[in-house]
Copies of this chain bind each other. A is one copy, B any other.
Amino acid sequence: MQTKGLVIVNTGDGKGKTTAALGIALRAWGHDMRVCVIQFLKNGNLRSGESRAAKKLGIEWHALGDGYTWSSRDIERSRAKALAAWQTAQEAIASERYDLVVLDEFTYLLHLDWLETGEVVAWLQEHRPPAMHVVITGRHAPAALVEMADLVTEMREVKHPYATRKQVAQPGIEF
C-alpha cells in the first residue's frame, strides 16, 4: 500500500483547528513518522502545552511567529518574521526529511496578502514530496487553497465559554 500524501486544511472560526493538527501530529508520531510543526503565529516565548509536549516527544517544533500579529505595533517586523517562517517551511517541505509538516496559522499570511495564494499553491504543487502530508490551519482559508487541498474541514463555533460567561484561557485547553 503506497502512501499518498494529503494536503489537509482546518479552517473556520471555531476552536480545534490547531488542536486537530496537533492530534494528527501525535498520531503520526505514534506511527514513528517524522513530524515537523511550524507555527506562524505563536512565538517561542509562549510556553504552550503543545510546544512542551513536542519537546518531550522529540517532534521538531518551530514557533516562529511574532505573537498575535493583528495587534502588533510593528507590523513590518511581524511581516518579516512571518515570511522568514514561510522560508523555513519551504525548506522543511522540500527537504523530504518529514512525513508530515504542519503549517499552523499559516492562512493569515494569505489573508493579509503577505503571500500570494496562487504562488503558494503552485509552490506546494511543485515541491511537496508526493508521500508527504501537509496540514495547514487558520481562519479564512482562500478558495484556491481549498480547491487544491485533499481534505478540508471547517470548525464552526456552536458555543464558546468566553462569549457566554467570564472565563479565562486555561492551560491544557487553550494553549
Interface residues of A (CB under 8 A from B): 1, 3-4, 6, 8-12, 14-16, 18-31, 33, 48-54, 56-57, 99-100, 133, 146, 149-161, 164, 167-168, 170-173, 175
Which of B99, B164, B167 meets A4, CB within 8 Å? B167
Bound CA span A56–B28, Å? 13
A-B contact pairs, 23 of them (CB 8 A): A1-B168, A4-B167, A6-B161, A6-B167, A10-B16, A15-B151, A16-B16, A16-B23, A16-B153, A16-B155, A24-B172, A24-B173, A25-B26, A26-B49, A27-B172, A30-B53, A31-B49, A57-B57, A146-B159, A149-B159, A153-B155, A153-B157, A156-B156
Given contacts A23-B50, A26-B26, A150-B161, 16 further A-B contacts (CB under 8 A): A3-B171, A8-B173, A16-B20, A16-B23, A19-B19, A19-B24, A26-B49, A27-B53, A28-B173, A99-B172, A100-B172, A149-B159, A150-B159, A151-B159, A153-B156, A154-B155
